[in-house]
Amino acid sequence: MHRVVVTGIGVVSPIGSANAAFWSAVVEGRSGIGPITNIATDRISTPIAAEVRDFDPLQHFDPKRVGLLDRFSQFAVVAARSAVKDAHLELSEELALTAATIVGNGAGGLTTLDESYLKLYGQSATRAHPLAIPRYMANAACSQVSMHLGLKGPTFTIVSACASGTHAIGQAFHMVRSGQAPIALTGGSEACLVLGTFKGWEALRVLSTDTCRPFSKNRTGLVLGEGAAMFVLERRDHAMARGAPIYAELLGFGMSADARDLTAIDPDGAARAIRGALTDGKINADEVDYVNAHGTGTVLNDRGETVALHMAFGDSADRLAVSSTKAVLGHSLGAAGALELAATALALHHQIVPPTANFEEPDPDCDLDYVPNTARNAPIGKAISSSFAFGGLNAVLALGRA
């Protein structure tokens, strides 16, 4: 088995699309949540989101080709390019033939879908755009990354709702660790801020009307977001031989299914995924210093996740630093785990624990150390990043300091 490290990080996010800007906002608890500007809000009851603002695709793509990509694919390609550049990686033809490309996505090209349905049902159009299917399909982002970077090895998409990005990174990690691929370009992307998505989430009655306050007693729900994060994963010996920057080492990956409820978190299933990541990484519970929580800001999720952490870590739970970056990034569904892994890897790299922003009032049912509002300089030897998705699909990554 090979040791696997993160050598490149690329983000497109509501708080910036450069690593320095992204990390600065995460550490400062400076939220990207605000009034929606990219679509009309007259039919939306909760007109706030964590948008990627000022994203101009023509700055990144040839005008003749930009029409081939839905917004979620644009995010993925831009983040992938940034990750490769950040890793100082030269993609030779030999390397590209075996490099893996694995991307998580929760919903496909929703911008394309929403626009198509508006024309067909709202404007009585007689036909859809000729590129509607290639733009909408869930694997479009992964395929576009492969084509734009010339990657010809194992390439596929994982769709598992809010755990998609984490599942994708975990699979890529296992492929590099086992030797199936020398490197992997992996992560998650989502562009879900369209009318249809908002109305669907409003029907679930879980959206906040003001902001996201994970683990705070007065939390009122989640806030939708968008964006992408992509990573270069490679063997540690290969990275060191070429003098690559190393942010963190991936140590373990755990997965589980609740097989119980379609939307509610099951602490037992979440705890099994956490323990699976620790077992896979040969990590004792008392070795983990930081948890980047799923932390959606809903009453039931935050309470259930707290119970899961107690179940997985036992007496060691009380010494954990736990924070949710969704107060800053919003909940970007299939991209959430990837953006949160970026925050976790950077936390290990900088030895700073990110805060849980917008925390106002302790909740007796959420009784751990949630690092309220202010980042903390503290030694972080090992950390986990958790994603618990609708459908009861759980995925957890364990990382160590490089």
Structure tokens given for 50: 């964590």
**pLDDT at residue 402 is higher than 90:** yes
The answer on pLDDT for 393 being more than 90 is yes
Residue linked to tokens 């509610």: 264
148, 167, 294, 310: which one is catalytic?
294
Domains in the chain (CATH in brackets) are: 4-241 (3.40.47.10), 253-401 (3.40.47.10)
Q: Where are the beta strands (DSSP E) in 261-375?
A: 290-292, 321-323, 352-353
75-88 tens-digit pLDDT: 999 999 999 999 99
Q: What Cα–Cα distance (Å) separates residue 157 from each residue in 78, 317, 391?
A: 17, 34, 18
Q: Residue 237: pLDDT band by 50, 70, 90 thresholds?
A: very high
Hey, what are 367's tokens?
A: 């009784």
Question: Mean pLDDT, to the nearest integer, of 330-357?
Answer: 98
How far is it, in rounded angstroms, from Cα 293 to Cα 315?
A: 18
Predicted pLDDT at 363: 97
> Are the C-beta atoms of 259 and 391 separated by less than 8 Å?
no
pLDDT tens, position by position, 271-322:
999 999 999 999 999 999 999 999 999 999 999 999 999 999 999 999 999 9
pLDDT digits (tens, 9 = 90+) for 17-59: 999 999 999 999 999 999 999 999 999 999 999 999 989 999 9
pLDDT tens column, 69-127: 999 999 999 999 999 999 999 999 999 999 999 999 999 999 999 999 889 898 988 88
pTM of the model: 0.97
- The mean pLDDT of 198-227, rounded to a whole number, is 97
Q: What is the pLDDT of residues 130-160, one digit of tens each?
A: 899 999 999 999 999 999 999 999 999 999 9
- Please list the alpha-helical segments (H only) found in 13-137: 19-28, 71-86, 93-96, 110-117, 132-136
Query: Which entry of 148, 167, 310, 331 is annotated as an active-site residue?
Result: 331
For residue range 187-209, list pLDDT tens digits in order: 999 999 999 999 999 999 999 99
148 is catalytic: no
Alpha-carbon gap, residue 260 to 268, rounded angstroms? 11
Q: Is 2 a catalytic residue?
A: no
CB-based contacts of 20: which residues, under 8 Å, 6+ apart? none
From the candidates 142, 162, 192, 212, which is the catalytic residue?
Answer: 162
User: How far is 109 from 143, CA to CA, in rounded Å?
Assistant: 13
